[in-house]
A and B are shown apart, each in its own frame.
Chain A
Amino acid sequence: MSRLWRLAAAALAFLALLAFAQEDDPYKEAEKQKRQLLEQSGVLPSDLFVEQGERLFKTKRGPKQASLEACDFGRGPGKLEGVVGRLPRYFFDTRRVEDLDSRIRTCMIQLQGFKPEEIRRSDVVAIAFYLASLSNERPVTVTPLMPQERALYALGEKLFYLRAGPRDMSCATCHVTYVGRRAGVLPYSDLLNDKRVASHWPAYRYSNDQAWTMADRIRACYSVLGMPAPDFYSEPIIALTLFLNAQARGGRMDLPGFIR
């Protein structure tokens, strides 16, 4: 009898462990967290960023008292659906390849008349979340075709493999060689083969309540590895984003992302 009890207790303890254990698959774990958050509060933090972004986008602001509704994200002025999955791309008006963040910034300068130093990062992120909400479930179609895009893609690829700094780091040392292994909580994602990775930015990070775009992610990767991060809106960030988003071509955007 006592043996049976012990067996039952062990089985119960095991079940409890299963119930409390974190999902091993980070995607399933994020789904679970998202569900729980929705049940608790009825609204996702990312939805609040989307709402704030929409207000910023449609309100007449800046020295020119204009909204951003005429901004061209590559499909023509004011055409916003699905644009996130098509960036970065070359723009004829600025003669540069721009990603989501830098294109928002460009429009805040050109349409609203802001000076670059007046642009608040948190505004750009919120607007990026609003645009992301209009690209959910759209395909990723980033394909470097223009010579400028092809050149920047090639540089982004070189940068991805570039090892430097006191810890000899590069993006590829973890995200190619050690895909699926862990140094910390999450396994390294497969940036070259898993199309889900690049297609969930901008994303809300439930582990530390942050709204991040791909630029924030890239900068965090550098900082964690003891290297100073490239400036926001700078070419290295756009080049890496172009390289990574092109790897996700054919994937479906999951936006705004909800991740650890």
Chain B
Amino acid sequence: MRHLYLLLFALLVSVSAQTSTPYITPELQRLIQSGGKSYSDTLLKQAADQALCSRYRNRLPPEVLGSFIEEQRKAIKYPADGRLMGDWKRGEAIYNTLARGNCFSCHVGSPLNIGGNVGPSLEKYGQRGTSEAIQRYTYEVIYNAWAYFPCTVMYRFGHNGLLKPEEIADVVAYLLDPASDFNTKPALRR
């Protein structure tokens, strides 16, 4: 039994040593610093999860995947009033604005902008209904896509503070509300 504990401990130590190796080595740090202050201020602030995605080139190995997803999920916050579907009209503006949600750049589905194909098509996303489960899933993917798709390109809007929880709920409404233009009007595509 003691051997088992020792083995477990050794395993834990080796895993944590592996995951805590910084991606930015001293040589890379010097290189980045020579790029100027604002550049290096941003890059050297690399978070541990960003470092893992960099190190494994966006394909996390099984031994880090579980704890990675768990950490991402733990950090998800919800609107103060608990409502995951807000105002679809406000969500429309966020979804279709380059400097805000910029969702249309990667996803097909908006009746206002031609969609891209980096992400999956969201055309008539509201067909999924408005159950608590689908609201929660949609909210959480927008809040932190890495909780479902580790290291994906989609911005972690809530996690990185790009959108407030209430704004994410507005986007959820734009996608799910049966009355939303997203579900009643045809999607624009190339």
Question: Which residue of A178, A231, A234 is within 8 Å of B153 (Cβ)?
Answer: A178
Q: Which of B24-32, B61-69, B77-85, B131-139 contacts A (4 or more CB under 8 A)?
A: B24-32
CB–CB B118/A181 < 8 A: yes
In the assembled complex, how far is the CB of residue A18 from the closest CB belonging to chain B, in whole angstroms?
Answer: 14
Asked whether, in the complex, the Cβ of B43 is within 8 Å of the Cβ of A167, the reply is no
What is the predominant secondary structure among interface residues of chain B facing chain A? loop
Q: Closest B-chain residue to A232, C-beta based?
A: B36
Q: How many residues of B contact A (CB 8 A)?
A: 37
Interchain CB contact (< 8 A) of A168 among B34, B106, B155: B155
B residues near A230, Cβ cutoff 8 Å: 35-36, 39
Within 8 A of B (CB), among A198-221: none
Complex contact A228–B58 (CB within 8 A): no
B178 on interface, CB distance cutoff 8 Å: no
* Beta-carbon contact of A235 and B31 below 8 Å: yes
Q: Are B116 and A183 in contact, with the CB atoms below 8 A?
A: yes
Tell whether B14 is near chain A: CB-to-CB under 8 Å.
no
A152 CB contacts on chain B under 8 angstroms: 31
Is A112 at the interface (CB under 8 A from chain B)? no
- Residue tally, chain A, CB below 8 Å to B: 35
Interface residues of A (CB under 8 A from B): 151-152, 155, 158-159, 161-168, 170, 172-174, 176-178, 181-184, 222, 227-231, 234-237, 239
- List B3-44 residues whose CB lies under 8 Å from chain A: 23-25, 27-28, 31-32, 34-36, 38-39, 41-43
Contacts of A172 in B (CB 8 A): 57-58
